[in-house]
């Protein structure tokens, strides 16, 4: 019998008032993959992730996590998930260990396993030795790794990471990604991640979905997406260009971004303003 994929979305729609944030999204993520959700600001990535985590309501039959319907079996789905949102979730006035302990209680990790699981999660992200320090004293990269530990403490099978490296310098970014890779290799955990860094997407993701204006525009491995663009250039007679990067693929599928009709900016500045404000707030708190 075929095993259920880590995630299956069938015709996911989500609107905020009259504005459609996600428009008929079909997506399948297989167990063990690192799957990147790409797209310009306002493409619908965070809304998709929040729907998967059951934080936004969706009707039955639309989202399944390891075969569990997110509408009918909300708690079963939540138990399978770890989620690191874009906004910071660590409390600066607690120590690293206290932050992770808090999540262990919230996620109902059995009391007798709690201490060991908290230590394991902190060690897995390389914070075991500094777990006694207040999170306020951590660098931006350490805070992001602490949030990863918070999400890891419930031993999720599907980890959802919304821009886990936003606002980090290249060394801190690598250290966050190296930890994700190590944990994934050790546990077989599936990862669904958004990033605006095309280098990260290219180097760290097995497969990518490119969203724009709430719709899926392209799907495949980084190599497939690039070779599709080569084929398209050939068909349209564009010659003499260097091999495309993932950024070229992104630009090709995202059109003129925020100036497209129906985009966040065209639908009202408020949405775009909120997106930028949220991103800046996270980045500056990490900086």
Interface residues toward ligand ATP, by CB under 6 A: 16, 19, 21, 39, 41-47, 264, 267, 271, 274-275
Interacting residues of 276 by C-beta distance below 8 A, sequence separation 6+? 41
Q: How far is the CB of 15 from ligand ATP (least distance, A)?
A: 8
Rounded to whole angstroms, the Cα distance separating 152 from 242 reads: 41
Nearer to ligand ATP, 117 or 204 (CB): 204
Q: Nearer Cβ to ligand ATP, position 16 or 108?
A: 16
CB neighbours of residue 51 within 10 Å: 23
Q: Which is nearer to ligand ATP, 47 or 99 (CB)?
A: 47
Please identify, using beta-carbon distances, which residue of 21 and 146 lies nearer to ligand ATP: 21
Q: How far is the CB of 9 from ligand ATP (least distance, A)?
A: 14
Give 148's contacts (C-beta < 8 A, 6+ positions apart). 84, 125, 161, 164, 176, 179, 180, 183
Instruction: Report the alpha-carbon distance of residue 271 to residue 143 in Å, rounded.
Output: 27
Task: Give φ, ψ of 247 to 5 degrees.
Answer: -65, -40
The torsion angles phi and psi of 246, rounded to 5 degrees, stand at -65, -30
- Give me the residue whose beta carbon is nearest to ligand ATP: 271
Tell me how far, at minimum, the Cβ of 275 lies from ligand ATP, in Å.
4
User: What one-character DSSP code corresponds to residue 273?
Assistant: H
- Asked if 56 contacts 47 with a C-beta cutoff of 8 angstroms, the reply is yes
Minimal distance, residue 211 CB to ligand ATP, in Å: 7
Asked whether the beta carbons of 6 and 29 are under 8 A apart, the reply is: yes
Query: Is-contact 161 191, C-beta < 8 A?
Result: yes
Instruction: Please identify, using beta-carbon distances, which residue of 39 and 140 lies nearer to ligand ATP.
Output: 39
41 versus 95: smaller Cβ distance to ligand ATP: 41
Nearest approach, Cβ of residue 89 and ligand ATP (Å): 16
Q: Identify which of residues 55 and 92 has a Cβ nearer to ligand ATP in the complex.
A: 55
> Nearest distance from residue 174's CB to ligand ATP, in Å?
22
Which residue, 48 or 95, has its beta carbon nearer to ligand ATP? 48
CB of 44 to ligand ATP, least distance (A): 4
* CB 247, min distance to ligand ATP, A: 15
Radius of gyration of the chain, Cα coordinates, nearest whole angstrom: 19
Distance CA 94, CA 81 (A): 24
Q: Are 47 and 24 in contact (CB under 8 A)?
A: no
């Amino acid at each position: 019998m075929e095993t259920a994929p880590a995630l299956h979305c069938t015709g996911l729609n989500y609107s905020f008032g009259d504005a459609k944030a996600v428009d008929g999204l079909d997506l399948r993520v297989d167990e063990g993959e690192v799957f990147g959700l790409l797209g310009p600001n306002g493409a619908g990535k965070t809304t998709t992730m929040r729907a998967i985590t059951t934080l936004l309501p969706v009707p039955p039959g639309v989202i399944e996590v390891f075969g569990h319907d997110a509408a009918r079996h909300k708690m079963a789905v939540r138990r399978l998930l770890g989620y690191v949102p874009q906004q910071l979730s660590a409390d600066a006035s607690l120590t690293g260990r206290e932050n992770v302990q808090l999540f262990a209680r919230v996620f109902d990790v059995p009391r007798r396993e709690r201490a060991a699981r908290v230590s394991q999660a902190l060690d897995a992200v390389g914070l075991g030795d500094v777990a006694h320090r207040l999170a306020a004293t951590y660098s931006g990269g350490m805070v992001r790794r602490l949030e990863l530990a918070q999400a890891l403490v419930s031993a999720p099978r599907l980890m959802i990471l919304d821009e886990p490296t936003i606002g980090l310098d290249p060394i801190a970014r690598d250290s966050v990604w190296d930890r994700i890779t190590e944990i994934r290799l050790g546990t077989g955990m599936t990862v669904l991640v958004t990033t605006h860094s095309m280098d990260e997407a290219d180097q760290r993701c097995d497969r990518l979905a490119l969203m724009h204006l709430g719709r899926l525009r392209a799907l495949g491995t980084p190599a497939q997406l690039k070779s599709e663009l080569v084929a398209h250039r050939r068909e349209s007679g564009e010659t003499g260009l260097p091999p495309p990067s993932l950024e070229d693929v992104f630009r090709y599928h995202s059109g003129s971004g925020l100036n497209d009709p129906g985009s966040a900016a065209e639908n009202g500045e408020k949405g775009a303003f909120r997106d930028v404000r949220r991103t800046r707030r996270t980045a500056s708190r990490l900086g």
